[in-house]
């Protein structure tokens, strides 16, 4: 999350794994017009495409949606020591701390995806992520002892939420929460909700690769999203999907990796070992909302492909494409619903 360029997550802004192709043609008379806006927020390039009756309406709606994202960044950033999240990490060991409705909701969702993925998705990886960020900066593998120490601070079951008074308690003093695997998806969903509340029916919010979209553009059957079927840059075999009222996201190691001693390490960590992933080339998830797509894409990067596909198939409206890298090249694993999207029998 957020403004620093060094963030492993943030470099994803450069990965156009999912390019959204929207017609540049003007609308038919009487239809709302298409407007597009960009802003750098959460350390990544944010894009809003929306259909509105007037430029004024469009501009004001987009400004409100961007403001919502900015507010969420102030809550969830792990680079800003004054963010609500970072303050919580410093204080919540002493005693349970009350938090904002947004932070509580993201934490609740995070724990839900941790439980669903049996810990493959785990926002308590913060101390381990810090060591891998350092490794990336210094181009040196993390010290094994430090890694082991950091790993002992990981474990989503050590986050205690109390919905009655909306408070959070952390069971260990060394815990650090990292919302990099879910925060942008949540921000995209929330920005889309702001647009909907202003009467914008048809919009798409792309929060640096985590995309939330509402109804199809006027006179179209959906938003056209280019899905890269293998790791980007390896093979040009993108396929256009037509989507609406859903979220879509991609987790990949194409831009966000560090190569050490000839091995490519992803920005995603296996919470069980504390090691950065080495074989996950790309995971694309379509889900009912962008929060779900974001969290599941991270989880499915960690899980063995067969378990990942089972998890995807068990969730309503979820489709997944998992691409793994090995000595022999790339292997694709396609979930049931993704087969339907790709029309594979
Ligand atoms: P994404 O690009 O959505 O897959 O998120 C990756 C980011 O989430 C990383 O840069 C870390 O900040 C954080 N992260 C890394 N590993 C995990 C994990 N296993 N579970 C949850 N978040 C993670
Ligand atoms: Mg994610």
Q: Domain segments of the chain: what residues?
A: 79-170
How many angstroms separate the CA atoms of 289 and 21, rounded?
19
pLDDT tops 70 at residue 4: no
Assess contact for 333 and 321: CB atoms under 8 A.
Answer: yes
Lowest average pLDDT, out of 47-56, 120-129, 334-343, goes to: 334-343
Residue of 2, 9, 151, 294 best suited for mutating to test ligand 1, as the one with most atoms within 8 Å of CB: 9
Q: Quickly list H helices, 77-170.
A: 84-91, 101-116, 126-138, 144-151
* CB atoms near residue 238 (< 10 Å): 18
- What are φ and ψ of residue 48, in 5° steps? -125, 125
Confidence of residue 231 (pLDDT cuts 50, 70, 90): low
Q: Looking at domain 79-170, does it have CATH number 1.10.3980.10?
A: yes
Average pLDDT over residues 322-331: 88
Q: Quickly list H helices, 139-217.
A: 144-151, 183-197
pLDDT digits (tens, 9 = 90+) for 23-73: 444 444 467 999 999 999 999 999 999 999 999 999 999 999 999 999 999
Element (H, E) at 244: none
Which residue, judged by its Cα, is nearest atom 15 of ligand 1? 268
* Cα dist from 315 to 285, 293, 308, 342, whole Å: 11, 11, 11, 19
pLDDT digits (tens, 9 = 90+) for 91-109: 999 899 999 999 999 999 9
How many angstroms separate the CA atoms of 334 and 229, rounded?
10
Calculate the average pLDDT of the chain. 89
pLDDT digits (tens, 9 = 90+) for 130-139: 999 999 999 9
For the chain, percent of residues with pLDDT exceeding 70? 87
How many angstroms separate the CA atoms of 147 and 89, rounded?
19
Which residue, judged by its Cα, is nearest atom 3 of ligand 1? 181
pLDDT tops 60 at residue 5: no
Assess contact for 194 and 62: CB atoms under 8 A.
Answer: no
Ligand 1 atom nearest to 298, measured from its CA: 4
Helical axes 126-138 vs 144-151, angle rounded to 10°: 160
Name the token pair of 238.
């993108």
How many angstroms separate the CA atoms of 156 and 325, rounded?
28
- pLDDT at residue 140 in the model: 93
Pocket of ligand 1 (CB under 6 A): 8-9, 12, 121-123, 125, 129, 178, 180-181, 251, 267-269, 271, 294, 297-298, 302
Nearest listed ligand to the Cα of residue 294: 2
């Amino acid at each position: 999350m957020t403004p620093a360029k060094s963030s492993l997550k943030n470099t994803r802004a450069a990965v156009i794994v999912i390019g959204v192709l929207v017609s540049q043609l003007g609308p038919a008379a009487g239809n709302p017009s298409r407007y597009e806006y960009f802003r750098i927020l959460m350390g990544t390039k944010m894009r809003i495409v929306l259909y509105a009756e007037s430029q004024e309406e469009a501009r004001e709606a987009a400004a409100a949606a961007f403001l919502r994202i900015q507010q969420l960044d102030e809550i969830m950033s792990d680079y800003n020591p004054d963010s609500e999240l970072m303050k919580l990490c410093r204080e919540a060991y002493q005693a349970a701390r009350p938090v904002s409705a947004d932070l509580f909701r993201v934490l609740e969702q995070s724990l839900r995806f941790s439980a669903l993925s049996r810990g493959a998705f785990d926002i308590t990886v913060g101390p381990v992520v810090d060591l891998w960020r350092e490794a990336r900066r210094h181009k040196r593998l993390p010290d094994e002892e430090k890694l082991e120490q950091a790993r002992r601070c990981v474990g989503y079951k050590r986050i205690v939420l109390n919905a009655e008074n909306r408070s959070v308690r952390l069971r260990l003093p060394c815990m650090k929460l990292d919302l990099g695997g879910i925060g942008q998806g949540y921000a995209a969903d929330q920005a889309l909700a702001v647009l909907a509340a202003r009467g914008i029916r048809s919009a798409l919010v792309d929060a640096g690769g985590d995309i939330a979209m509402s109804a199809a553009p006027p006179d179209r059957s959906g938003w056209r999203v280019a899905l890269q079927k293998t790791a980007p840059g390896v093979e040009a075999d993108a396929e256009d999907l037509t989507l609406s009222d859903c979220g879509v996201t991609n987790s990949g190691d194409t831009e966000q990796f560090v190569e050490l001693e000839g091995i490519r390490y992803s920005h995603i960590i296996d919470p069980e070992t504390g090691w950065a992933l080495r074989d996950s080339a790309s995971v694309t998830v379509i889900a009912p909302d962008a929060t779900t797509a974001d969290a599941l894409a991270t989880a499915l990067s960690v899980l063995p492909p067969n378990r990942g596909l089972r998890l995807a198939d068990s969730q309503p409206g979820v489709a997944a494409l998992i691409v793994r890298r090995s000595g022999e090249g790339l292997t694709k694993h396609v979930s049931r619903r993704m087969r339907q999207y790709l029309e594979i029998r």
